[in-house]
Structure 1
Amino acid sequence: MDPFDGVLPFGERPALILVDLMRAYFEPDADLYVGSRDCLLAAARVLAAARTAGVPVLHTRVAHSRDGADGGLFYRKATPLRRLHGPLGALMPEVAPAGDEVVIVKQYASAFFGTTLASTLTALRVDTLVITGVSTSGCVRASAVDAVQHGFVPIVVRQAVGDRSAGPHEASLHDIQAKYGEVWEEQAVLERLRESGPAS
């Protein structure tokens, strides 16, 4: 019997976060290319459902100073980050933020580390964070771990996250489901968002 059998319920006040859906992950010649646009298109469908339901939507993107000083050791270690200064750092048009949607600019893997995300979600009285984006083994996993540590239920949308290879992708989803949050199928998330009203 699997000892990791706990379940976190989808709450009453969800928010959606789209993690780092930047050109660097979807340009075939880029170092960070995830291999297809499937997760991007799934994230766009979840985004449309969240907007229709009036669920709060937040986006993240990575941006560093030109010398990378604000990225510290992470910037030194993860050398593809240096290519995000130009067009590859732009968010994809399929999931472009609307005028009233928060865009969190981050320097590290987690959407929570060194940002206002936790205080923003708390102010909105959010209890559940629906997570889409890239990469599954990096920024998605780090954000899911920090979400539960900040008291938000992480719901990772399986079809709406992606990685550069299947091994780390599947291992990370398995690990998140076992210890940190819940991994839901896209259709189930869409149905749940349709039942959600605006967080007021």
Structure 2
Amino acid sequence: MRAYFDPASPLCLPSSACLDAAARVIGAARAHGVPVVHTRVAYGPDGVDGGVFVRKVPALRQLFDGGGKLGELMPEVAPTAAELVLVKQYASAFFGTSLASTLLAQGIDTVVLVGVSTSGCIRATAVDAIQHGFIPLVVREAVGDRASEPHEANLFDLQAKYAEVVSESAAISYLKEDR
């Protein structure tokens, strides 16, 4: 979402390199007929559906209350008309959404994760993915965080316990495989 790449946002990342890598991974998925699901955060008026999370991180309510420009998906990774966009209020793409049932109905057993932030949404989604019985692949170059320390620490921990952390080239090769 734009909030992670706009210099005026408190969530802005120091680099947009992960955005370019994410675009390449998504492009490979599309080229090989692999379903792509997008997520974005949006809250109702005054963050009413954000619970304790928006109290803990007030910037969320400020940035995503009712949508707005900072809640838009970046053009580099924008969904096509045929791709599902799930709206979420918490870190995990699984929590409070139809993601698990959507993937199961399509016979999908592996999720390839790209996006931000490594220590927040990516980690939470990977943990929930494995807890739902999916194999999570986190694409190292296609995820990012506001600082290198939490980014690297979370990649280390994800690899150790919850996911396979793979290179962009390995992810693209995986997406090209016949299914």
Amino acid at match of 1:121: L
SS at match of 2:40: strand
SS at match of 2:50: helix
1:78 and 1:99 map into 2 onto residues whose CA distance is 32
2:150 and 2:15 map into 1 onto residues whose CA distance is 16
Question: Please, which runs of 5 or more residues in structure 2 have no aligned partner?
Answer: none
- Of 29, 34, 46 in structure 2, the residue corresponding to residue 67 of structure 1 is 46
Matches within 5 A, 1:2-41: 22-41=1-20
Amino acid at match of 1:32: L
CA contact (8 A) 1:148 1:181 kept: yes
Q: CA deviation at 1:196?
A: 3.6
Partner of 2:84: 102
Paired positions, count: 176
SS at match of 2:94: coil
Query: What is the percentage of aligned positions where both structures have the same residue?
Result: 63
CA contact (8 A) 1:60 1:103 kept: yes
Partner of 2:109: 127
Q: CA deviation at 1:79?
A: 1.2
State the Cα deviation string for residues 69-110 of structure 1 (Å, max 9, x = none).
111000111111121232100000111100110101000010
Partner of 2:32: 53
Amino acid at match of 1:91: L
- Of 183, 191, 196 in structure 1, the residue corresponding to residue 165 of structure 2 is 183
Deviates more, 1:29-38 or 1:40-49: 29-38
2:108 and 2:120 map into 1 onto residues whose CA distance is 24
State the Cα deviation string for residues 29-72 of structure 1 (Å, max 9, x = none).
21000111100000000010000000010000000002111110
Residue 76 of structure 1 pairs with residue 58 of structure 2: no
SS at match of 1:183: strand
State the Cα deviation string for residues 137-178 of structure 1 (Å, max 9, x = none).
001000000000000000000000000001100010011000
Normalising by the residue count of structure 1, what TM-score does the alignment of the two structures yield? Answer: 0.86
Partner of 1:163: 145
Partner of 2:156: 174
1:46 and 1:79 map into 2 onto residues whose CA distance is 32
Amino acid at match of 2:15: S
2:159 and 2:44 map into 1 onto residues whose CA distance is 35
Residue 93 of structure 1 pairs with residue 55 of structure 2: no
Q: CA deviation at 1:28?
A: 1.3
Amino acid at match of 1:123: A
1:58 and 1:109 map into 2 onto residues whose CA distance is 15
Q: CA deviation at 1:181?
A: 1.0
Cα RMSD for the two superposed structures: 0.8
SS at match of 2:45: coil
2:178 and 2:56 map into 1 onto residues whose CA distance is 41
